[in-house]
Amino acid sequence: MQIAHTKEELRSMLSPLRGRKIVLVPTMGALHAGHASLLRQARELAGTEGSVVASIFLNPVQFDNAGDLATYPATPMQDLETCDSCGVDVVFMPSSDTMYCADRSVSLEETHLSSVLCGASRPGHFAGVCLVVNKLFNLVQPTDAIFGKKDYQQLAIIRRMVRDLDIPITLHGAEIVREADGLALSSRNVRLTPEHRQAAPAIRRSLLSAGEAYASGEPVDNICAQVRRSLESIPGVQCDYVELVDAQTLHEVTAPHRLALLAVAAWFGDVRLIDNIELSRS
């Protein structure tokens, strides 16, 4: 496995690999089994002929909250071991100064899908995501890229960016990897208090029972209200949003729907957790 810290190193490491599949998995580090699953899927997709590139970059531009950026976990040595054991060929690990010129003045904004859910409560977040992902696409020039469905809105926005800008990359969505108790793996989970860590699987449980209620014809408003009530009955928990949206447009649905997404963001103390479930009703 090779490690590139600069754009020049990355270019020279990738140049002999061009002409075959190059699969990119962008991450912000503090890798866990969710990331590992994406890396292994990338390895499988690339096959023996192709290459897997992982980027590890804590992108400051996508953080709307300075405290969240400052406390975001970093485990670089462990991350490299994870990449190596998952069969990554090249890790791109740039510094912030390497990625961004101090006087950068070009931004990239998706305006429709970004206006709801996390986009509504994290101003500028998805513009920062689009900017860094676009830069990574240009630097790596992968044939394929893999993103997790845990960040469902992010995947939808990147799909839209790829479509609207004619970026010649095939995107793949990967299923959410969970702890045995149902909590979606997240780099932020280590910041939960022991009490909140114990209570956090309630998110998954409430989404599953909402799924049953949806299938049995329960009105959408009741379903969302019930999820909110059950999470907010936990001390120190505040929901940011609980919304049932169209799985493609991410805009709210009020009636039974072909393919919907029930998405939740909730503060467990000062840690913001997200999760979602795809729902369908015939």
Catalytic residues: 35
239 binds ligand AMP (CB under 6 A): no
Stretch that binds ligand AMP, among 40-48, 67-75, 91-99, 177-185 (CB under 6 A): 177-185
Rg (CA), the chain: 19
40 binds ligand AMP (CB under 6 A): no
Contacts of 130 (CB under 8 A, 6+ apart): 108, 109, 110, 157, 158, 161
Distance of closest approach, residue 229 Cβ to ligand AMP, in angstroms: 25
58 binds ligand AMP (CB under 6 A): no
Taking the least distance from each CB to ligand AMP, the nearer of 150 and 204 is: 150
122 binds ligand AMP (CB under 6 A): no
Query: 188, 267 in Cβ contact below 8 A?
Result: no
62 binds ligand AMP (CB under 6 A): no
How many C-beta atoms lie closer than 10 Å to residue 81's C-beta?
12
28 binds ligand AMP (CB under 6 A): yes
Stretch that binds ligand AMP, among 41-49, 71-79, 85-93, 173-181 (CB under 6 A): 173-181
Taking the least distance from each CB to ligand AMP, the nearer of 253 and 273 is: 273
Task: Find the residue with minimal CB distance to ligand AMP.
Answer: 148
Quote the Cα angle for 99-32-52, to 5°.
55
Residue from 1, 17, 108, 177 binding ligand AMP (CB under 6 A): 177
Taking the least distance from each CB to ligand AMP, the nearer of 55 and 206 is: 55
- Nearest C-alpha neighbor of 90 from the set 178, 173, 180, 17: 17
35 binds ligand AMP (CB under 6 A): yes
Beta bridge partners of 272: 267
Residue from 83, 133, 176, 266 binding ligand AMP (CB under 6 A): 176
Distance of closest approach, residue 96 Cβ to ligand AMP, in angstroms: 15
Number of residues that bind ligand AMP (CB under 6 A): 17
Distance of closest approach, residue 198 Cβ to ligand AMP, in angstroms: 18
187 binds ligand AMP (CB under 6 A): yes
Residue from 117, 162, 184, 261 binding ligand AMP (CB under 6 A): 184
Note the residues at the interface with ligand AMP (CB under 6 A): 27-28, 34-35, 37-38, 147-148, 150-151, 174, 176-177, 184-187
